[in-house]
Chain A
Amino acid sequence: MRKSNFLFHLYMVLFLIYMILPLVVMGGAAFNDSRFPSIYPWVGWTDRWFIELWKDTRMWVAFRNTILVALAVVAISIPIGTAAAILINSIAGSTRTVLYSLMVAPILTPGAVIGISTLLFWNTLNVPAGLHLSVLGQVSFIAAFVMLLVLARLQSFDRGLEEAALDLGASHAQVLRRILLPHLYPAIGAGAAIGFFQSIENFNVTLFTRGTYDTLTVYVFSKVRTGITPTINALALILIAVTLFCAIAYEVRRRAVARRG
């Protein structure tokens, strides 16, 4: 058993290297003073790719668009996903099965299909392609993630609390605001975080619905395809750093909460 445990540990370490090393290679290339992004041969240390990136107005526009889309997606997905979870939690039988299937279907649908169907449908309603369509397309599956998270949280909710509040004279809106929503906040918060990230890194749905607008993923994609320079690596490194920062902040907070008990 000892020996096999050692093999398992080794395998895990190799897997972590496999997961993380490519990101290090990509990030490292951002500092290499070579026209083509690579860490070998190492030409020399430079920060000029970061400066070029900073001056790239197209990147800034794409960045702004990405954040706007992500905020809009979260703002729409949270109420929809929460409402849908509450709805499906208080119905039963075959209606529930059908509704549930419809709700999770977007998660199991390829992004290209969601993108194209969104584009076609809103075009018939004379809504042209653009970031607003990207928002709607992304909401269709991100709301499903929110729904699943909130639904899982609802399973641990004692509905006796709602009745107790009603009995004490609370209105339905007060019950929602003071009793049910506070119980759901952790799931809603997680849904907002996941939705925000999902939106930022979304490519497939955005590609078909964006019209002529850029988002960061589309910007990176077109850069890689056309004139590839290490500015992309500089951007990648910044994004990885932000991700790492968020992940660590989340973990620190989680441990603090766990300690407080």
Chain B
Amino acid sequence: MSAGVELDNVTMEFGSFRAVDNVSVNIQPGEFFSFLGPSGCGKTTILRMISGFIQPTKGLVKIGGKDMQGARPNQRPTALIFQNLALFPLMPVWENIAFGLEVRGVDKAKRRARAEELLRLVDLPDAADKRVSQLSGGQKQRVAIARALAVEPSVMLLDEPLSALDLKLRQHMRAELRAIQKRTQVTFIYITHDQGEALAMSDRVGVMSHGKLQQVAVPQDIYNNPANGFVASFVGENNILSGDITGEEGGLVSFATPSGTFSARLGPGVSKGAKARLFLRPEHARLSTEAGKENSVPVEVTDVAFEGNFISVHSVDAKGQTYISEARNDGSAVIPGRGDKRHIVFEGQHAVLLTGDISAKDVDE
């Protein structure tokens, strides 16, 4: 039933603009795969190429091993869930869901039965005869999913379908989507700019920037072992320091920055002499009253945010470099005050040197 999707060196150009640049990825049957990236990174273009609304300039799209070149959207085993859902406003809920069957010539009684069955699947058993405008945001979401499932697609394509919902509903729908995917075993390809969604739901995540696929990996690898500076900075928070690689010692290298020389590990494809930056996650930056033996910087606390389950502290060192550190709130932690003198201390294992651009998300989000 479910089919894999293979993108083979796919490129899409609009005039001189290259929206998708030589992307290759092999999505397995039954997998929940997310394309994650900022707006304009080309992820929606990839989705539209898979669904057949546009044809790639170069490269092949294969679904279930079959080359899809020339096949129009209505000839592909895919179903797309649109960002705005695109429910048909003039049809009642059940006709929306059964539309894919109607155009395939299924008779009315069968369509109705199938629609009701799907409404039960998405937990909306009484909505069949309602108008679309009578539904809440979350209910519309479910109807859109049911409508897509009705045509028994091998691949479901989801274009940021949760972006219009409020935070609570969004988190609820994440679990729901995941559950439906597991139940139906259909391949899900999910587009989002929200790292939380991608990491929480997906089997694998592909991070995109400027039309290029930066990294494809399971969620924990995306977070723990980012392939480059863009992935590290787009997914999660970081302390970022610029400097030069100066020496090597026991698997780690030393990295000289204006704030001091630190030991760190080399990221993938980074070698001595490369223009790299040091990335350190806030949860690995410990705020200490005493200086450590190595990888330690004296700082002054500038801001403290008590978030409940953790405490986030902003600080700055003598050179003006800012740091953010997070500590779990175990109930006994002493919360520092603004202006307190502390030390940022971290393990060289947790600091990684990466090349490449940094995401601008901290600026515009």
Contact = CB atoms under 8 A, between A and B. Distances in A.
Interface of A: 158, 160-161, 163-171, 174, 178-179, 182-183
Nearest to B150: A168
A232 B103 CA distance: 55
Contacts of B52: 167
B151 A169 contact: yes
A179 B80 contact: no
A168 B51 contact: no
A108 B259 CA distance: 76
A166 B90 contact: no
B49 to A, nearest CB: 13
A183 B88 CA distance: 10
Nearest to B104: A169
Given A169-B104, A170-B74, A182-B90, A163 B147 contact: no
A171 B100 CA distance: 11
Nearest to A185: B90
A167 B99 contact: no
Given A158-B84, A164-B86, A171 B103 contact: yes
Nearest to A169: B74
Which of A163, A168, A174, A183 counts the most B-chain CB atoms under 10 A from its CB? A168
A168 B100 contact: yes
A160 B74 CA distance: 14
Contacts, number: 61
17 contacts: A158-B86, A160-B86, A163-B80, A163-B86, A167-B51, A167-B52, A167-B53, A167-B74, A167-B78, A167-B79, A168-B79, A168-B103, A169-B151, A170-B103, A178-B99, A178-B103, A182-B90
Contacts of A165: 88, 99, 103
A169 B90 contact: no
Nearest to A166: B73
Given A161-B88, A163-B53, A165-B99, A171 B82 contact: no
B72 A166 contact: yes
A230 to B, nearest CB: 50
Nearest to A164: B86
Contacts of B148: 168
Contacts of A171: 74, 103
3 residue pairs, one from A and one from B, having the closest CB atoms: A168-B100, A164-B86, A160-B86
A114 to B, nearest CB: 37
B82 A160 contact: yes
A166 to B, nearest CB: 5
A167 B103 CA distance: 11
Given A166-B53, A167-B73, A168-B103, 14 more contacts: A161-B89, A164-B87, A165-B103, A166-B73, A166-B74, A167-B52, A167-B79, A169-B74, A169-B103, A170-B74, A170-B99, A171-B74, A178-B102, A179-B88
A184 B86 CA distance: 17
A183 to B, nearest CB: 7
B135 to A, nearest CB: 16
A165 to B, nearest CB: 7
Contacts of B86: 158, 160-161, 163-164
